[in-house]
Amino acid sequence: MFLVDEPDPDQIFRFRRDGFLVVERLIEPAAAARLAARFEPLFRGEFETGLYPDEWNWREDRDAADLTRQICNAWKSDRFVARAVLHPRIGLWCARLRGWPGARINQDNVLWKPPGARPLAFHQDDSYQQWVVPPEMCSCWIALDATSAVGGTVEYVLGSHRWGLAPPAARFHAPDDYESEMREAAERAGAIPGIARIEVPAGGGVFHHGRTFHGSDTNRSDRHRRALVSHCMSSGARFHPTNVGYVYGRYKRAGSTEMDESFFPVLWTEDGYRSAFLEEYLASGPA
């Protein structure tokens, strides 16, 4: 599925300098189309494995049509999604870019921004990771539709991973001013924000640092913008002994900070390890 082998030294340099790295072709366009076709059944609650995802943030009979639709950890609910977000190449890239010994999944995001959907606030992923030690992420954002500046594509702020850690966004979905907290962080850091609006074909994408500010504007086009995100953490990550993750803390075992690979599988390590159950799980679903 993945077209990229591993990052070269120049790509690693640019990622660490800018806080993100655009890759024009991550997966084949046909693979992107197959993944995009899973979105409608997922948001209707048709889960291929029979298991609900950890977060299901938009439902047709409940939520406004102009909100961005999001599901978190669809890999547990749909093995088509799982084959993409749990791919060993994603683990390899995230580990190499961040300098980790390996990478494991923290969570995935299924993101669907239909025409007219309002913004998502600029934020840093690491702001939401205080339940993890170390509290840091690296993410792979895959466009399943061609993106455009007017289509509410993801936006990154150059070098913002060096600004320090800001609090979580006060209003993540459909804020009145989706840039306001990013601008405040830039002012505190004495920086002038340089925003890159990502325009890639279907199957292209971006790797980004957990402290890089990113968000998206209103989709002012007549096209849907669907994306799949794999958020990784170090293969050596553990639960924080006292900070509780209000969603993912449910997977912490009593008396232990170790992360159970059933819920946070290891995708790739330098010594060749990958969670043993993955191959059988990924192969057992529909082709």
Q: What is the per-residue pLDDT across 44-57, written as a single tens digit (0 to 9) for each? A: 999 999 999 999 99
In the predicted structure, residue 287 carries a pLDDT above the cut 90: no
Secondary structure in 3-state letters for 80-114: HHHHHHCCHHHHHHHHHHHCCCEEEEEEEEEEEEC
Q: Rounded CA gap, 139 and 205, in Å?
A: 10
The dihedral sign for the CA sequence 185, 189, 192, 198: negative
Q: Is 203 left (phi over 0), alpha (psi -120 to 50) or beta?
A: left
Q: Name the nearest CA neighbour of 94 among 195, 229, 283, 281.
A: 229
- Out of 2.60.120.620, 3.50.30.10, 3.40.50.1220, 2.60.40.10, select the CATH number for domain 9-283: 2.60.120.620
Asked whether 15 and 209 are in contact (CB, 8 A), the reply is yes
Can you give the pLDDT at residue 184? 98
Residue 147 buriedness (CB in 10 A; 0-12 / 13-18 / 19+): buried
Q: Domain coordinates of the chain in residue numbers?
A: 9-283
pLDDT grade for 286, boundaries at 50, 70 and 90:
confident
Instruction: Say if residue 196's pLDDT is above 90.
Output: yes
Residue 239 near residue 175, CB atoms below 8 Å: no
Is the whole-model pTM more than 0.95?
Answer: yes
CA distance linking residue 135 with residue 129, whole number of Å = 5
pLDDT digits (tens, 9 = 90+) for 85-105: 999 999 999 999 999 999 999
CA–CA dist 103, 110 (Å, integer): 20
Residue 152 has pLDDT above 90, yes or no: yes
Chain segment 128-143, per-residue pLDDT in tens:
999 999 999 999 999 9
Q: From CA 238, how far away is CA 24, in angstroms rounded?
A: 33
Q: Report yes or no: 210 and 204 within 8 Å, Cβ to Cβ.
A: no
Structure tokens at 257: 């900070």
DSSP 237-285: -EE-SSPPPTTGGGGPPTT--PPPTTTS-EEEETTS---TTHHHHHHSS
Residue 29 phi/psi, 5-degree rounding, is: -55, -35
- Residue 285 scores a pLDDT above 90: no
- Per-residue pLDDT band for 205 (boundaries 50, 70, 90) equals very high
Round to whole Å and give the CA distance between 91 and 226.
22
Report d(CA 19, CA 192) in Å as an integer.
15
Residue located via tokens 């840093």: 124
CA neighbours closer than 13 Å in the CB half-sphere of residue 113: 29
CB 139 within 8 A of CB 231: yes
